[in-house]
């Protein structure tokens, strides 16, 4: 599945350009993502015993993208939860995933 997606993206230059443009248009999201990547990467790499390999970096970025999507949906009102409910649920998901 992932190979098909990557092959499609690498052969479709127009789609690549659109994705890059859309990402760059959201400067706030880019800044938030960078801040989270820096913070989460440092703490998660430490949790993995100092492993700083490609798989660890990809896993961190994968999870970060999911959390940012959830937060964006919550801010748009697409997720009906208060801050406590949201953070508790996200923490439960993280604990389940990382154990």
What pLDDT score does 45 carry?
59
Per the prediction, the chain carries an average pLDDT of: 75
Contact of 60 with 40, CB cutoff 8 Å: yes
**Residues in CB range of 45: below 8 A, 6 or more apart:** 51, 52, 56, 60
- How many Cβ atoms sit within 10 Å of the Cβ of residue 60? 19
Between the ranges 26-30, 34-38, 46-50, 86-90, where is the mean pLDDT highest? 86-90
What pLDDT score does 80 carry?
94
What does the block give as tokens for 23?
């990402």
Contact of 24 with 35, CB cutoff 8 Å: no
Q: Is the pLDDT of residue 47 over 80?
A: no
Instruction: Give residue-wise pLDDT tens across range 11-41.
Output: 888 877 877 777 666 776 777 777 776 766 5
Contact of 33 with 68, CB cutoff 8 Å: yes
pTM (2 d.p.) = 0.59
């Amino acid at each position: 599945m992932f190979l098909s997606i990557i092959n499609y993206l690498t052969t479709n230059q127009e789609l690549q350009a659109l994705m890059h443009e859309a990402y760059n248009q959201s400067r706030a999201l880019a800044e938030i993502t960078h801040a989270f990547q820096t913070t989460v990467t440092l703490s998660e790499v430490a949790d993995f015993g100092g492993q700083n390999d490609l798989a660890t970096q990809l896993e961190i970025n994968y999870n970060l993208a999911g959390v940012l999507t959830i937060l964006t949906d919550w801010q748009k009102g697409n997720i009906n939860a208060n801050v406590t409910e949201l953070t508790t649920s996200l923490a439960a998901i993280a604990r389940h995933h990382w154990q």
